[in-house]
Amino acid sequence: MLANLNRQLFEATVFDSGALGLTTSIVHQFTVAGVYSATVRKDGKHMGNVSFEVRDDATSMQLDIDLAKTQQGSKDGCCCGTEAGQPVSSKGYVVFHTTAGTGWSVHVGEGKQASFDSTRLTKGDIFALTLLEPTRYGIENKLGSAKGSVTVEFTKGDAKRLSDLKPIMVTAGKKFDPENFKLIATQGLVFRIETDARIVISRKEPRKAEPDKGHIRFQRPRIVETRPARKAS
């Protein structure tokens, strides 16, 4: 998905897997066939519901759900919501993202037995994002002790090879692997979750240089193609 950059993209200084924004997304695999209902929140406030179907015989391997497009329930307490696209395979993946605002989260299931909670990622989940501003960022797992950093760079030479860049893969276990690394602005950054996690990336230094906003475009990282399928439990 390509989009022209705007001011809101460059003003972001915190990227939180539990509070999704414009350049972040979460990937989860629902291995059990059925119809799922997801509760969508923004900054903790209920914004609506979205339902989707997982089938063993479905041919689609990826379902993208834009949390910003969910409908707010009516004042009489109706829990009616939107329905997301065609069924996705139980061997495929559901990608939760947003095209407007920040602070989005999703909760699939009931109470403590929820099958998925984006504010608490578990083994097998993926958090993907794109960092645009050339500067240094700190990385932290708020549910663990892992910490690290990433330095984002961008030169005129980099602009010529953006389409050839592959996402940087980071394993998020007891430690981040790698812990400290560099990438080019707009290059995808993908965290493979190995333990309970809420990944927060925060800007630690002022921007290194003013990016050429007229020429930089961001592309959401290709996630499904870069990881093996997870076995059904």
- Per-domain residue ranges for the chain? 1-17+121-227, 28-112
Q: Is the pTM of this model over 0.75?
A: yes
User: Which amino acid belongs to residue 169?
Assistant: M
Averaged pLDDT score across all residues of the chain: 83
Confidence of residue 86 (pLDDT cuts 50, 70, 90): confident
Which stretches of 43-165 are assigned E, i.e. beta strand? 45-55, 62-66, 82-83, 88-89, 93-97, 104-108, 116-117, 126-130, 136-141, 147-153
- Going by their DSSP bridges, the two strands 62-66 and 93-97 should be labelled as parallel
For residue range 91-143, list pLDDT tens digits in order: 999 999 999 989 999 999 865 556 899 999 999 999 999 998 899 999 999 99
3-state secondary structure of 132: coil
Sorting pLDDT into bands at 50, 70 and 90, what band is 28?
very high
pLDDT of residue 227: 42
At 228 the pLDDT is 39
List the structure tokens of 135.
Answer: 């500067």
- Tracing tokens 């003003």 back to the chain, one arrives at 11
- pLDDT tens string 158-175: 877 877 889 999 999 999
* Residue 213: both structure tokens together: 């906003």
Residue scoring higher pLDDT (177 or 111): 177
